[in-house]
A and B are shown apart, each in its own frame.
Chain A
Amino acid sequence: MSIDEQTARRVAHLARIAVDDAALPALAAELSAVLGFMEQLREVDVDGVEPMTSVTPMRLPWRDDVVSDGGDAGRILANAPAARDGFFTVPKVVE
């Protein structure tokens, strides 16, 4: 499976990573090389094998549905690149 420039552009966009058009051929080649390596998985007979969902046989624990934390907006917003009136701020998203 090799990746063309158009697929590389699509993947970069899905991953929300800006890539210059000039860098797309190199990116496509790099991704293709790693995918070529992954192709080895096709040699394995996986008929009837369950995909792993948990590496240790355990049931995920439940806890009571109660508020256990919170009220920390100030401390959380302290790390925000931009915040106002107790909210994160971003560029306008709705026209």
Chain B
Amino acid sequence: MTELASLTIAEARDRLRDGSIGAVELTDACLAAADSARALNAVTAPTPDLARRQAAAAATRLKAGDAPDLCGIPLGIKDLFCVEGTPSQAASRILDGFLPPYESTVTAKLWAAGATCIGKLNMDEFAMGSSNETSAFGPVVSPWRGTGNRDLTPGGSSGGSAAAVAADLVLGATGTDTGGSIRQPAAFTGIVGVKPTYGRVSRWGIVAFASSLDQAGPMAKSVRDAAILLKAMAGHDPKDSTSAALPVPDFEAALTGDLRGRRIGIPREYRVDGMPAEIEALWHQGAEMLRDAGAEIVDISLPHTRHALPAYYVIAPAEASSNLARYDGVRYGRRARIGADEGITALYEKTRAEGFGPEVRRRVMLGTYVLSAGYYDAYYLRAQKVRTLIKRDFETAFAGGIDAILTPATPSAAFGIGEMADADPVEMYLNDVFTVTVNLAGLPGAAVPAGLDAQGLPLGLQVIGRPWDEAGMLDVAYAIEKASGFAAKPQKWW
């Protein structure tokens, strides 16, 4: 029965509609797959009761012929999204016991479309991390194995989502991406991950990390599935003032794989020092695939690329220090015990010291420092100016007739859990080198699997689109997917 869980969303949609499989049966298959995959540590809170209720309702809708694309499709939800009455704690101890009294806009839209919720998925604490090792629930283990059978990271911060999709526990999942947190784990696990244009998807009800950079997006087994999910997640929401009042195109209908007349930019600054030969070769092959699909390949320059990472690591912690000020042990979550002679400041300080893990504490303090009197201009204001320049680089390329940009998704394949334990925090931050520019410029970006490295681990390419042109971007990703014929799956060991 669990082989049903390995269907794509598009396949399951068609089979649910023609009645050859049932919604309850499909959801039960995913619940069973998730239950038997505890070794992956991908699920923080299974939601079988909710899933079964939703599946029964979906079955009724399917029977009545009222079935949107996602009707009866089992999904996993990153723990950053509030799901009413279901533990939602951003993988942090500080939100221990928090049960949201409301539903995030994205999940509300998914449930309204008939999707079923298999469970909340593990992640780096408050989405701060690139390996899932900062989670209060412990790291997620990738379904892929490294040489010597070592445990690999699925990447982060949406590592539980990536592992759950790659291991066929769910048909698709939600992720969020502030500096690469959808695209890097998608690349590490051989799946498709899409970070939409800033403002395309409502942030309401998603635990905030860095509000000017955060976007939710789909993680799926194919470009088509990502297009289907994105359509259901996207759209204007009056409850998010930065949400765009723009119509949502039919992203799936835009998938042709025919790139005649399209111009794809290859930014020379992304050829970073020490880039592994395999990544360089994959990038070159990707460009050839696009040329074969009819695109013109153009060398472009994005001159401020190398300043993106330091700018990001000023702006994101600054916004995080402000956003995370709300976790003080007063209104929700965990409260530290204090002595009889201690006051409210000790309550705040102890609650936050106990509740936040080391990486979150580090980023909150960094953010506090760069925003503090005397340093604001030197760090924060300067970083925001550099951000303007980074965005301008892209605007210049697009104004020059470039339709989309092709880059590697990550500087390497997945690394082992614990392998970066002794590394300087900056070394971990380098994982985001190809992805942060996209968040800083508010652009859409998609990671698509394109090949395997010498160890047999997935490698991904990134397609960056024009603002609001997720459709065009996904079509480029679709051409890569078709040409690469990537069909590798992890061998089941869990």
Could you tell me which A residues sit within 8 Å of B by CB distance?
Answer: 3, 7-8, 11-19, 27, 30-31, 33-35, 37-44, 46, 49-56, 58, 60-61, 63, 72, 75-76, 78-82, 88, 90-93
Contact = CB atoms under 8 A, between A and B. Distances in A.
A41 B314 contact: yes
B382 interface: yes
A11 B349 CA distance: 12
Interface string B94-107: 00011101000000
Closest 6 CB pairs of A and B: A55-B442, A51-B384, A81-B335, A79-B332, A18-B353, A18-B349
B242 A41 contact: no
Given A38-B314, A46-B385, A46-B389, A15 B321 contact: yes
B310 A31 contact: no
Contacts of A37: 309-310, 313, 426, 429
Given A18-B353, A30-B362, A91-B343, A50 B388 contact: yes
Chain A binding surface SS class: loop
Interface string B211-222: 010000000000
A89 B476 CA distance: 55
Interface stretch (B51-59, B364-372, B483-491): B364-372
Given A51-B384, A79-B101, A88 B331 contact: yes
Interface residues of B, number: 73
Contact of B391 (A17, A34, A55, A75): A55
Interface string B342-382: 11111111101100100001101111111010000001011
29 contacts: A11-B368, A11-B372, A15-B321, A15-B367, A16-B348, A16-B349, A33-B426, A34-B362, A34-B366, A34-B426, A44-B389, A46-B382, A46-B385, A46-B389, A49-B389, A50-B385, A51-B385, A52-B384, A52-B388, A54-B212, A55-B441, A56-B198, A56-B442, A61-B241, A78-B101, A79-B98, A80-B331, A90-B347, A93-B344
Nearest to A42: B382
Nearest to A3: B369
A78 B385 CA distance: 43
Contact of A15 (B333, B334, B368, B467): B368
Contacts, number: 165
A76 B100 CA distance: 9
B345 A81 contact: no
B353 to A, nearest CB: 4
Contacts of A40: 306-307, 310
A81 B350 CA distance: 14
Interface string B294-312: 0000000000101101110
A93 B313 contact: no
A31 to B, nearest CB: 6
